[in-house]
């Protein structure tokens, strides 16, 4: 795994662990990207179960594509994210995410892989295929429709 991609996964894992509305999860999660850069040993975030096939929702699909492109272009609309996620979206996380996703090239296709259920949260999993590779984009929505979790793996 390339260092920039690893940094994105670590940053995303930290976001996920901090944003899922459960107790006890954060203790098992990866520390902040800054801590991982210092060379300290980190635990992996809890694995997310494989997604179960489900029908894709056109509005959610559109949101997934819009958010992926926004991350690639570095134009994240923070009003679409929960307060918890916004507190974790540091300039460094955004910069690393944008650089990594932009290096993948233009988005070619989006495939809905299904819904992963974990800790009472539905996580929607999309495979984003670009010119230079693919990445799974996982996100969850809060009851008010804001993005409560987002990460790329």
Please state, in angstroms and rounded to a whole number, the distance separating the CA atoms of residues 84 and 66.
21
Q: 124: part of which helix (H) or strand (E)?
A: strand 121-130
55-80 b/e with 16+ CB inside 10 Å = b? Answer: ebeeeeeebbeebbeebbeeebeeeb
Query: Which token pair is 69?
Result: 């492109």
Backbone φ/ψ region at 112: left (φ over 0), alpha (ψ -120 to 50), beta: beta
Query: What is the reported pLDDT for 92?
Result: 95
Please state, in angstroms and rounded to a whole number, the distance separating the CA atoms of residues 123 and 139.
5
User: Which is nearest to 36 in space by CA: 2, 64, 9, 59?
Assistant: 9
Please state, in angstroms and rounded to a whole number, the distance separating the CA atoms of residues 74 and 143.
26
Please state, in angstroms and rounded to a whole number, the distance separating the CA atoms of residues 135 and 90.
21
Split the chain (153 residues) into runs of 10 and give each run's mean pLDDT. 44 45 30 34 64 97 98 96 95 95 97 95 97 97 96 91
Query: What is the reported pLDDT for 78?
Result: 96
Query: What is the reported pLDDT for 46?
Result: 63
Query: What is the reported pLDDT for 119?
Result: 87
Structural domain boundaries in the chain: 3-38+48-152
- pTM equals 0.74
The CATH code of the domain at 3-38+48-152 is 3.10.450.590
Q: Are 29 and 40 in contact (CB under 8 A)?
A: no
Query: What is the reported pLDDT for 54?
Result: 97
Query: What is the reported pLDDT for 26?
Result: 27
Please state, in angstroms and rounded to a whole number, the distance separating the CA atoms of residues 37 and 121.
30
């Amino acid at each position: 795994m390339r260092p920039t991609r690893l940094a994105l996964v670590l940053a995303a894992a930290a976001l996920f662990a901090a944003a899922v509305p459960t107790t006890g999860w954060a203790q098992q999660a990866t520390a902040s990207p800054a801590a991982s850069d210092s060379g300290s040993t980190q635990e992996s975030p809890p694995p997310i179960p494989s997604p179960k096939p489900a029908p894709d929702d056109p509005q959610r699909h559109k949101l997934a594509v819009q958010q992926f492109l926004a991350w690639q272009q570095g134009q994240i609309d923070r009003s679409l994210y929960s307060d918890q996620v916004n507190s974790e979206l540091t300039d460094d996380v955004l910069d690393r995410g944008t650089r990594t996703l932009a290096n993948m090239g233009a988005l070619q296709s989006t495939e809905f892989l299904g819904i992963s259920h974990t800790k009472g949260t539905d996580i929607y999993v999309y495979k984003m295929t670009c010119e230079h590779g693919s990445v799974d984009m996982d996100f969850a929505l809060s009851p008010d429709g804001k993005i409560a979790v987002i990460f790329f793996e």
